[in-house]
Each structure stands twice: as structure tokens, then as C-alpha cells.
């Protein structure tokens, strides 16, 4: 089982409704292979520390956990096995605390929640199972607050019920547990935290309607609820708290039309109904979002078709509500952008895979 996050948007006939969308203040290079690697490596997660070290995580063709690092976002190491282990673990999310510890979460080949950590981005622990013997639970994303509390969310693939787990150090985890004891279907796929320590997770219910849940401490969660009461399908794949705008921003796509979507909330609980980016009527699957901590500029990345000919795309917004039309990254090449991060120099870096053979790729903004 694999989490899919990003690919690329291919230019073709497209229309927008209403006023013309704004032009993007940034552009991206054409996605390129990490260190020229032509070995399968699904690069799904990305984090950057205070020293501007980018660390990407994912898994190999044999479903073994891999990582890659870059000091500038452009020169990457070849994805390598975590601690040399070839055991089946698919690592999906990664975050880094203020002490510089990178923590990754995912799941084992037997579908049990897992974690690994590294204090330098290169020397990793062997991926291990979270305690409690919980099975059928996948952990997709992880967030960390200013106190260093890591919180991961996910769901049970058999019941689709929402799960979370917490760790004060990235190495000792709580047993994954249901959010508020909920037995309702809620596949939580993303998490973020604001400046006050409020964790917000997003996902979908059994009908693919958009959901959110909040927690002030990472452990006591609200029951996942509909965004603005909307029952219209909207696959919200990512969420980020923008500290400049004071705004939670989620992105995703409409599973019926494949048009790109966004939704916003100032408090994590009162959400706008997911809406189409720039009134776009061209498919763009948005899978990740991040922002510039100085200007507040938001960048979302995704793809156009999820297929072997997909090309990587991005869209930007200065306020979370007015978005550019998703645009191809550089020149047309089969690629899938899975995640995006930004360094202190203001360079956005996206990682992912080639769309036709799943080789690891990156692209940088300029």
C-alpha cells in the first residue's frame, strides 16, 4: 500500500471562470533526478532544519525505507536505506524539531504504524513499530510543536477509523489510538500545528467528503467533522498553518472532476467550503502545501494525471484564497511532485518521483 502525493500538471486547453487569476511570483526548475539516480525510490516526505539541510524520506521498489539529503535543495545524495535495513517499511512523513532531530512515520509491510529518527538526517535508526501491537493502521503525516511534541495521524485501513499517536522525543511513542474514540470512517491524511500549539488534521469520510479534527495537546481530539458542513467530495491531501497570515490552509482535488481545491480556516474549526483554485477547469491533483515564513506566500504542488505521462505542477497564493492556476514545473517531463519545503533563503524545494518509472526527483523555485 502506498500513499500517492503529487505528480505534475500538463498544459492543455483550459479555462477559468471569473476574473483572470494572478500570475505566480515564483517559478520552478524542471524536475531532475536526485544525484542522477535511476533506481526506484518513492520520495514522499520532506523537511528542512534550521541549518537548511533538506531531508526526504520514502521507500524503495522493495518497500524498504529510504532517505536522501541536500544542503541546498539542488545537490542530492542518492536515496539510501535507513540504517541499511531492507525490511519492508514505507515511510511517508517527516518533520524536524528545534533540536534538529528528524522523525519519520509510516507503516510496515504488514500494515502496522512505524517510525524512525535521525539526529543528522543521514544516520537513521532502523524503522520500528509503534507500541501496542496495533495492526491495519497506517501513519501518513507527522507534525511537531514548539515544545518538541511530535504527533502523527492516520487511519485503520480495515475500518477507515481515525488514529493518532504522540511522542515527546520521536523515539518513544504512545500506542496509536482512535481520535475521540470515534468509530466513524475518517481517513486522516495530513496534520499541522499553529503557533499556539493547536494541532489540526484533515481527511475524508467514507463518501470522500472533507473532514477536520483539532487537538490542543495532540492527545485529546475532537471527532472529525465536515468542513463547513459540506458533503461534496473533496480529497484534502495537505494542510499547513501559515504563521504570517494566521491561517490554516488545506489543498487537494475534486475526485469527480480532478480540479484543484483549497479551503481555509482562521481557527482550525471553522472552515470554508473547499473551492476550485482560480476557477480552474483543468485537472490538477494538489498533494502538498507550504509557505514562505517572511512573506506568507503559499506554494502548493501536485500533478495533472497521476499517470505515466504526468508532469509536475505548482500553484501559489498570497492570501490562501486567491490562487494562481496550476502551472507546469519547468519544461514538460514525466514527474510527480510529492512534497514541498522552504529554506531560510526563501527557496522552495519539491521532491517526488518520475511519473513513468518512479525514480527520485527534485525541483527548486527561482
**pLDDT tens per residue, range 323-355:** 999 999 998 899 999 999 999 999 999 999 999
pLDDT in tens, 221-246: 999 999 999 999 999 999 999 999 99
Confidence at residue 186, expressed as pLDDT on a 0 to 100 scale: 98
Residue 181 phi, psi (nearest 5)? 65, 15
pLDDT in tens, 68-85: 999 999 999 999 999 999
- pLDDT at position 11 over 60: no
- Range 32-364 classified under CATH 2.120.10.10: yes
Which residues, 6+ apart, have CB-to-CB distance to 36 below 8 Å? none
* Residues 127-143, mean pLDDT to the nearest whole number: 97
- pLDDT at position 115 over 60: yes
Closest CA to 22 of 324, 306, 357, 308: 324
* Residues 163-175, mean pLDDT to the nearest whole number: 98
- pLDDT at position 7 over 70: no
* Residues 54-75, mean pLDDT to the nearest whole number: 97
pTM of the model: 0.93
What 3-state class would DSSP assign to 34? helix
Closest CA to 37 of 51, 53, 58: 58
Which residues, 6+ apart, have CB-to-CB distance to 282 below 8 Å? 9, 12, 13, 14, 15, 259, 304, 325, 326
pLDDT in tens, 308-320: 999 999 999 999 9
Distances in whole angstroms, Cα of residue 95 to Cα of each of 43, 100, 126, 179, 231: 14, 10, 17, 21, 31
| Confidence at 8, pLDDT banded by 50, 70, 90 | very low
Report whether 288 contacts 340 (CB < 8 A).
yes
Confidence at residue 23, expressed as pLDDT on a 0 to 100 scale: 78
pLDDT in tens, 232-288: 999 999 999 999 999 999 999 999 999 999 999 999 999 999 999 998 999 999 999
Return the higher-pLDDT residue of 49 and 5. 49
| Confidence at 109, pLDDT banded by 50, 70, 90 | very high
Residue 277 phi, psi (nearest 5)? -65, 120
* Residues 114-118, mean pLDDT to the nearest whole number: 98
Share above pLDDT 70 across residues of the chain, in percent, rounded to a whole number: 94
Q: H or E element: which one contains 58?
A: strand 54-60
* Residues 167-177, mean pLDDT to the nearest whole number: 98
| Confidence at 21, pLDDT banded by 50, 70, 90 | low
- pLDDT at position 4 over 70: no
Pick the range with the lowest mean pLDDT from 119-128, 145-154, 191-200, 302-311.
302-311
Sign, Cα dihedral of 84, 88, 94, 98:
negative
* Residues 119-127, mean pLDDT to the nearest whole number: 98
| Confidence at 307, pLDDT banded by 50, 70, 90 | confident
Share above pLDDT 90 across residues of the chain, in percent, rounded to a whole number: 92
Amino acid at each position: 500500500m502506498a500513499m500517492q502525493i503529487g505528480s505534475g500538471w500538463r498544459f492543455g486547453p483550459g479555462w477559468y471562470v471569473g476574473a483572470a487569476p494572478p500570475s505566480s511570483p515564483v517559478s520552478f526548475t524542471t524536475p531532475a533526478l536526485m544525484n542522477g539516480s535511476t533506481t526506484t525510490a518513492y520520495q514522499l516526505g520532506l523537511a528542512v532544519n534550521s541549518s537548511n539541510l533538506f531531508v526526504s524520506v520514502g521507500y524503495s521498489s522493495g518497500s524498504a525505507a529510504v532517505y536522501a539529503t541536500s544542503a541546498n535543495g539542488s545537490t542530492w545524495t542518492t536515496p539510501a536505506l535507513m540504517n541499511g535495513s531492507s525490511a519492508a517499511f514505507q515511510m511517508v512523513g517527516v518533520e524536524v524539531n528545534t533540536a534538529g532531530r528528524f522523525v519519520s512515520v509510516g507503516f510496515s509491510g504488514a500494515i502496522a504504524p512505524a517510525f524512525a529518527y535521525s539526529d543528522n538526517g543521514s544516520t537513521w535508526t532502523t524503522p520500528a513499530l509503534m507500541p501496542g501491537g496495533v495492526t491495519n493502521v497506517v501513519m501518513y503525516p507527522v507534525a511537531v510543536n514548539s515544545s518538541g511534541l511530535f504527533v502523527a495521524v492516520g487511519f485503520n485501513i480495515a475500518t477507515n477509523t481515525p488514529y493518532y499517536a504522540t511522542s515527546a522525543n520521536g523515539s518513544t511513542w504512545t500506542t496509536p489510538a482512535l481520535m475521540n474514540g470515534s468509530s466513524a470512517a475518517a481517513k486522516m491524511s495530513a496534520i499541522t500545528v499553529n503557533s499556539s500549539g493547536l494541532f489540526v488534521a484533515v481527511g475524508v469520510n467514507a463518501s470522500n467528503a472533507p473532514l477536520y479534527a483539532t487537538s490542543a495537546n495532540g492527545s485529546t481530539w475532537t471527532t472529525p467533522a465536515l468542513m463547513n458542513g459540506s458533503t461534496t467530495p473533496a480529497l484534502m491531501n495537505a494542510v499547513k498553518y501559515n504563521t504570517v497570515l494566521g491561517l490554516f490552509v488545506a489543498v487537494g482535488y475534486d475526485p469527480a472532476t480532478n480540479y484543484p481545491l483549497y479551503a481555509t480556516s482562521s481557527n482550525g474549526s471553522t472552515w470554508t467550503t473547499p473551492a476550485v483554485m482560480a476557477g480552474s477547469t483543468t485537472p490538477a491533483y494538489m498533494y502538498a502545501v507550504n509557505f514562505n515564513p517572511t512573506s506568507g506566500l503559499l506554494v502548493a504542488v501536485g500533478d495533472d494525471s497521476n499517470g505515466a505521462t504526468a508532469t509536475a505542477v505548482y500553484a501559489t497564493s498570497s492570501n490562501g484564497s486567491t490562487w494562481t492556476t496550476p502551472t507546469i514545473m519547468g519544461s514538460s517531463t514525466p514527474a510527480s511532485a510529492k512534497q514541498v519545503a522552504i529554506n531560510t533563503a526563501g527557496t522552495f524545494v519539491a521532491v517526488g518521483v518520475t511519473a513513468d518509472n518512479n525514480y527520485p526527483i527534485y525541483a527548486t523555485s527561482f
